[in-house]
Structure 1
Amino acid sequence: MLHVRKEAMTDVEFAEIYEVFWAKLYSVAYNYFRDRTTAQELVQDVFVHLWLKRAELLHVQDLPAYLFRCMRNRIYDQYDSLASREKLIRHATHSYREEVYATDETLAYEETLDLLNQELAKLPATTQTIFRLSRFDRYTNEEIAKRMQVSAKAVEYHITVALKKLRIRLDRIVYIIIVILTSGNS
């Protein structure tokens, strides 16, 4: 059985090899992974490979060395697979966190913008328009003054009024939200 063969391995020979080497190969795999299932799968892979390649193994002179080399290669492949899987999991977890944070940030931004727009709607029309041109559209005070046909001082006044009122109203809302959140944790 361990000499150079002239024909493919028979079913009986394969069964004998399986009986002789299964426990030894299992022991090698188990020593590396300390996991029965993994060790059994690796041994099974070696024997499946042996059976599928039985016609091509006529040149093998040292069958035990060949089987243990096959096991070593399966162990290396398993380590590579585990490392790749861990890397993929780390990357997926990191990407998922970024997506969740981006979604949370987008939602928070939209809610804040909605709240800001509600409070802006309570201001006089001219003050609203000037504030939006200044803060949302990024016009300078001079550009707003020219566009609205008012003085630069009037633009400053409307922006100051809008900021004061928004700050007071939004501070109250933030305070209420904080009270609600902290009372829920008690």
Structure 2
Amino acid sequence: MAQIIPLYQNWLIAIKESDSRSAFSAVYTKFWKDLFVHALKRLKDEQHAEDIVQELFVHFWEQRQKLDTEMNLPAYLYGMLKYKIVDYFNSCKAKPQLLAYWAEDMHQYVIDHPEELHAYLHLEGLLDQELQKMSHNMREAILLKWDQLSIKEIAEKLNLSEQTVKNNLTDGSKRLKRSLLLHSDGQYGVVLGFAFQSIAMLIP
């Protein structure tokens, strides 16, 4: 069991039992910068990183009555941050790299295995980079297929023949697989498996 730092425990007791804003402020001051830097490394966006850390502390305060005063406070905060980063990537609908088909399964897996967050973000980045290199029709066909549209529906939406859509999906899936194999060095185990499963669903 991790050693409990008395100062942190005193803060937790004061927050939980006395609604101490001064103790909460002390926690905020102690951890905000490091959490922000950690989030920024993952998100590459200062505003989003700041927003996520702010949300983390709001949640921390709102859940103060449920705090375990004997927990490892730094581990708890960084654990919360990991989940919020995963939530961000799975809820940011404006991002074309969001792979809706595998998001739910990956979300639960990474929550259960937070040590896999880096692999998840890395592979998502690789897939996004390859998607951005594709022609508009190929990329849109793939994203629409991941949204579970049929070949016919995709063809109508993109004003293409069904055979052209099938060709785009087949060629696009090959490119995505090749990119993962070339740039992941065959690593990332289960997470890589999820990615390949999502790509397999593209094949007509």
Structure 1-normalised TM-score?
0.45
Structure 2-normalised TM-score?
0.42
Of Structure 1 and Structure 2, which has the larger fraction of its residues in helix?
1
Structure with higher Rg: it is 1
